[in-house]
Structure 1
Amino acid sequence: MNQPPLSLHIAPLSEAHAEAICEWSFEPPYDIYGWLSWEEMQRLGIEFGDPTFRVQQYASIISVDEELIGFAQFFPMVGVTRLGVCMRPDLCGQGLGSTFMETIVQEALRRTPQHEIDLEVHTWNKRAIRTYEKSGFTITDTYDKRTPEGLAQFHCMVLQG
């Protein structure tokens, strides 16, 4: 029997969700996507550890039964909304990516309909690249970028249409 399609919605990224995200554990090579502890994020006031920044740029992706599926960042740039996306690690690779990305893209279009939508992805992350391509993104540029682990190569992918 086929499962019904997953239905997701956007909600504010609460402190409880932020704390849960900080506890997610990723298998290598995806472990670079992990966060500091919630206490450290708050102490340093970085990313969603800063309450103002969390409200302005971050959102939870929630299932119909109110389960945290992942989160998105809607980073404003001039004429562009850059997405940062992350699905809960135990859900990755299970075919949920298209619905997950569609939910995020629709929210980005709602927030800033006049903006181009793009994202950055490590060139080695083929699983994510396939998902983004299925969601209407195409690679428009490849470049080196400084990360906490040193220089890494990224693709910029832009939503087409």
Structure 2
Amino acid sequence: MNYQFNKLSQEQAEHIAFNWKYERAYSFYNMTADEEDLTEFLNPLQRGDKYFIVTKGNEEVGFFCFENEGESIDIGLGLKPELTGRGIGLEFLKVGLDYAMSKYNPIEITLSVATFNERAIKVYKKAGFESTENFMQDTNGSCFEFLKMKYKCAK
């Protein structure tokens, strides 16, 4: 069965924001953990056309955010909490990369990930992302270290 991408609806955004809860250290990624991210995610005007729900059959699998920056696309993503740690992250990521390349035709795709999230970093590296820089960012009520990663698209 194939993955489907559809524009994230208001109902889906509210469901994800208030019901998708990650455990332990990964609670950092709960939408309610950062007021600014939550506001963007819940506001249809701020969310715009950049957020997509990903389904497989009738099941919500995750979401992607694609920030079009010209020749580069910056992505954000979230896998449904119950599906994390089950070995499908790489497949989910690759589906998102394929979608971004077909929709936007970028030269590169970038993302940022909290450095403590070694599980995600491992998946990104398996998919072909390379580390480019570390930086500090204010989020979730404190300052955290992030890793910027880049994926070169085949042309």
TM-score by length of 2: 0.87
Is residue 137 of structure 1 aligned with residue 133 of structure 2?
no
Distance 1:62 1:55 in 2: 19
Report SS of the residue matched to 1:17. Answer: helix
SS at 2:90 equivalent: helix
Q: Residue 114 of structure 1: SS of its match in structure 2?
A: coil
Confirm or deny that 1:111 pairs with 2:103. Answer: yes
- Alignment partner for residue 20 of structure 2, among 21, 24, 28? 24
Any unmatched runs of 5+ in structure 1? 1-5
Provide the rounded CA distance (Å) in 2 between the counterparts of 1:135 and 1:47.
Answer: 28
**Which structure: larger Rg?**
1
The alpha-carbon deviation at position 112 of structure 1 amounts to 1.6
The code of the aligned residue for 1:46 comes to T
Q: Is the contact made by 1:12 and 1:55 (CA closer than 8 Å) also made in structure 2?
A: no
Q: Taking structure 1 as reference, are residues 26 and 114 closer, same or farther at Cα in structure 2, changes over 3 Å only?
A: closer
Report if the CA contact (8 A) 2:7-2:49 is conserved: no
Percent of paired sites with the same residue: 29
Secondary structure of the residue aligned to 1:36 is helix
Given that residues 9 and 103 in structure 1 are in contact (C-alpha distance below 8 angstroms), is that contact kept between their aligned partners in structure 2?
no
Q: Which runs of 5+ in 2 are unaligned?
A: none
Instruction: Return the TM-score normalized by structure 1.
Output: 0.84
Give the counterpart of 2:31 among 32, 35, 48: 35
Counterpart of 1:53, as a letter, is: Q
* Match status 1:85 vs 2:77: yes
In the TM superposition, what is the alpha-carbon distance from 1:93 to its structure 2 partner? 0.7
CA distance in 2, matches of 1:153, 1:79: 26
| Residue matched to 2:55 | 62
Q: What is the DSSP-based 3-state SS (H/G/I as helix, E as strand, rest coil) of the residue aligned with 1:60?
A: strand
Say if 2:144 is the partner of 1:158. no
Number of residues of Structure 1 aligned to a counterpart in Structure 2: 151
Once superposed, what is the RMSD of the aligned Cα atoms?
2.3
Name segments (4+ residues, structure 1) moved above 2 Å. 52-55, 76-79
